Chain A
Amino acid sequence: MNSQAKISLVACGGMDKAEGSVTTQITFLLLNQDHKAEIALITIPQLCAGISPYPTMLKTLPVVVIDGCGERCATKIVARNQGRIRIKSLLTKEIQKFKKRPQSQENIGQEGMQLAELVASDIQSQIEDYLKGEHNNGK
C-alpha cells in the first residue's frame, strides 16, 4: 500500500469494449505522471476478491472513479464497498465531449490514445483541485 496516497483510483478495466481499453490507458497515464505518489490504485478484481488492504483503503481514501460504459460497474462496486466518490468520469460521455472515438478493444488507435490523454489530464486537474481544497480545509 502506498502510504503517501491521498486519493484512490478505481477504473473499469473491462475487456469487452473499446471504452474499457481506454480507461486502462487513462489509469496508466495517471499513474505515470508527477503526482502518482498521491494516487493509490485499487483494481476492481482486488476489491471484489476482498484482497487486503484494498477494501479498507477504499473506505479510508476519497475515490476517483472512471467508468467505461453506461453499466457504470466501477461506480457500483465502489458504492457497494462504501467508498466516498469525489471525482467521476464516464468514458462514453468523454467521447462525446472530446469528439474522439477509440478504434477497437484490441487497438484503441490514435484517436483513442488522444482521448485517453485528454481525459487523464482533465482528471489530473480535478485531483489537484480537490486535494488543494482538502489541504486548505484542513488548515
Chain B
Amino acid sequence: MTEPKKIGIVSCSGEELPEGTISRIATRIVMDKLKPGLTTTICLPLFLTGGGNEREFAKKHPTITIDGCEKMCAAIATEKYSGKPILSLNVKEILSNDIKNADISRQKMGPDGRKLAHKVAKKIAEKIDHYNSKK
C-alpha cells in the first residue's frame, strides 16, 4: 500500500471577514491536531508571488483550498498558478446560519469562533479521509 501524499492546504488569508480568520484557525487545527503529518499549509502570499517552493509543492501534491467567502480567492488563485484543488471549501457556506448567531469578530474569535473553526476543521478532515479512501 502506498503512503498517502501530503496534502497542501491553501487558506484564505482574508482579514476582511470573520470567516477569513475562521479559515486560518481551522487550517491550523487540521494541520496540528486532526491530520498532523498528512497536511501542510501553503503560504498563500509566497505561493502567489512564486517564491519558496510553494508552487512546486502545489503542482506535485493535492491541494485543498479553504475560502472565507463566495469570492473563492484562494481557489481561483490556486487553480491559476498550480492546478485544480481536489477540494474547494467555502467557510461561509459550511457555517451558514451558525455564524449569524455567533458572538465573534474578525479580530476576536472567542469560544464561539473556536467552536466554528473546529466544525470547519472536522469537515476538512472528513474530506481528506474520503479522498484518501478513494485512492
B88: interface (CB < 8 Å): no
**Cα(A127)–Cα(B104), bound, Å:** 28
Is B45 in contact with A24, judged by CB distance below 8 angstroms? no
- Distance in Å from the Cβ of B80 to the closest Cβ of chain A? 8
Which of A46-54, A56-64, A93-101 forms contacts with chain B? A46-54
Instruction: Give residues 5-50 of A contacting B (CB, 8 Å).
Output: 11-17, 20, 24-25, 27-28, 31-32, 41, 43-46, 48-50
**Cα(A96)–Cα(B32), bound, Å:** 29
Instruction: Give residues 36-95 of B contacting A (CB, 8 Å).
Output: 41, 43-46, 48-49, 51-52, 71-74, 76-77, 80
**Residue among A17, A46, A50 with the most chain B CB within 10 A?**
A46
Is A49 in contact with B51, judged by CB distance below 8 angstroms? no
Residues of chain B within 8 A of A71, CB atoms compared: 45-46, 49, 51-52
Residues of chain A within 8 A of B15, CB atoms compared: 11, 13, 24, 27-28, 31, 41, 43
Is A73 in contact with B76, judged by CB distance below 8 angstroms? no
Interface residues on B, range: 20 to 34
Is B46 in contact with A14, judged by CB distance below 8 angstroms? yes
**Cα(A74)–Cα(B76), bound, Å:** 18
**Cα(A50)–Cα(B72), bound, Å:** 11
B107 CB contact (under 8 Å) in A12, A28, A49: A28
A49 CB contact (under 8 Å) in B16, B24, B27, B77: B77
B44 CB contact (under 8 Å) in A11, A15, A25, A76: A15
Is A13 in contact with B107, judged by CB distance below 8 angstroms? no
Residues of chain B within 8 A of A13, CB atoms compared: 13-15, 24, 44-45
Interface code B105-116, partner A: CB below 8 Å = 1, 0 otherwise? 011000000000
Residues of A near any B CB (own CB < 8 A)? 11-17, 20, 24-25, 27-28, 31-32, 41, 43-46, 48-51, 68, 71, 73-74, 76-77, 80, 105-106
B73 CB contact (under 8 Å) in A20, A48, A73: A48
- Distance in Å from the Cβ of B119 to the closest Cβ of chain A? 18
**Residue among B20, B43, B77 with the most chain A CB within 10 A?**
B43
Q: Which residue of A lies closest to B14 (CB)?
A: A43
Is B12 in contact with A73, judged by CB distance below 8 angstroms? no
Q: Which residue of B lies closest to A10 (CB)?
A: B45
B14 CB contact (under 8 Å) in A17, A31, A32, A45: A45
A13-B13, A106-B28 known; A45 vs B44 contact (CB < 8 Å): yes
Is A51 in contact with B48, judged by CB distance below 8 angstroms? no
**Cα(A35)–Cα(B28), bound, Å:** 32
Interface code B1-36, partner A: CB below 8 Å = 1, 0 otherwise? 000000000011111100010001001100010000
